[in-house]
Amino acid sequence: MISRQLLIASAVLLIAVLGMSVYVWHMRRTAARIPAVAKDTRPLAPPVAGPTEQVTLFVAYDDDGTLRAEGAQIPLPSGRQQRAEELLRALLTIYLDKNSPHVIPPGSDVRSVYLVDPGVAVIDLNSAFADAHRSGVLVEELTVASLIHTVSANIPGVVKVKILVDGQQRDTLAGHASLTNFYDVSAMNALVATLGTPSSVGP
């Protein structure tokens, strides 16, 4: 003989289980209706807040093969290394935009920038940046010049720059621009002046 209390308890538990099942089914349907957010391959937004500063970014344009100075307002931390990293992230954000004048691979990012006295800057890029970078003398040179000049123009005292990929030295960026040596900032300044001028004869 089953007691009355046991029957009532069993019935309450059964109702609770059924109710929870309905609730879970409803929640799953609701979750399925919410559209999935597309994977954003842009680098993370600058993790700094507060007042923004006026900086000059040197942006590459593939159409006419030039490097142009463009002003930007971005929040910058006080540390020199962090400032350099945020400058380059702001530059890469422009290149990763769908209307970029100089397309770089999705997922490209700056891992770190190390500023070592006296006057040495080491830019460490991630492998997504270099592995799928477009190949060609000019297209690679524009990338390298853009990165180096953006750092040297905004961070005083940098005289030579080294570019690493995933913390390692590479022979070239994508088969042409050499990454084996330190770049001379003064030589790069002269190159940037030349890169400001497009071809001598129009296509």
Partner 1 sequence: MSAILIILFFTLLLPAATPEKHLSVYSTAANYTLPLTLVDNRDYVGLLELLEPLGAVTAKADGSRWRIRYNNVLGDFQNSRIRGRIQGRDVELTGRFVLENGRGLVPVSSIPSLLPRFLGGPVTLHEDSHRLFIGSVATHFTALLTSHNPARLVFHFTSPVNPAITNSPGSVRMTFTREPVVAPASPTLTFGNKTIPSANYSENNGAAVITVTATTPVSTAISGDGRTITIAPAAVASQPTAPETPTSKATAPQPGAAATQSLPEIGRRYFVVIDASHGGDDRGEALGPNLAEKDVTLGLARSLKQEIESRGMTTLMLRDSDASIPLDQRATITDASHAAIYVVLHAASSGHGVRVYTALLPYDGDDVGPFRAWSTAQHGALSLSQSAGAAVLAELQKRQIPDRLLAAPLRPLNNITLPAIAVEVAPQGSDVQQLTAPDYQQLVTSAVATAIAAIHDQLGVTR
Binding residues vs partner 1 (CB under 8 A)? 62, 65, 134-139, 141, 144, 159-160, 171-172, 175-178, 180-185, 187-188, 190-191, 194-195, 197-203
> Shortest Cβ distance from residue 97 to partner 1 (Å)?
18
Minimum Å gap between C-beta 102 and partner 1 is: 10
Contacts of 124 (CB under 8 A, 6+ apart): 110, 111, 112, 113, 114, 164, 165, 166, 167
153 φ, ψ (degrees, to nearest 5): -75, -25
Instruction: State in angstroms the smallest separation of the CB of 41 from partner 1.
Output: 22
For partner 1, the closer of residues 67 and 76 by Cβ is 67
Tell me whether residue 82 or residue 172 sits nearer to partner 1 (CB atom).
Answer: 172
Rounded-to-integer distance, Cα 85 and Cα 151, Å: 9
Using the minimum distance from each CB to partner 1, give the nearer residue, 91 or 188.
Answer: 188
CB of 182 to partner 1, least distance (A): 4
Closer of 20 and 116 to partner 1 (Cβ)? 116
User: Given phi > 0 = left and psi -120 to 50 = alpha, else beta, which region is 175?
Assistant: left
The CA angle 182-184-185, to the nearest 5 degrees, is: 125
Query: Strand, coil or helix: what is 78?
Result: coil
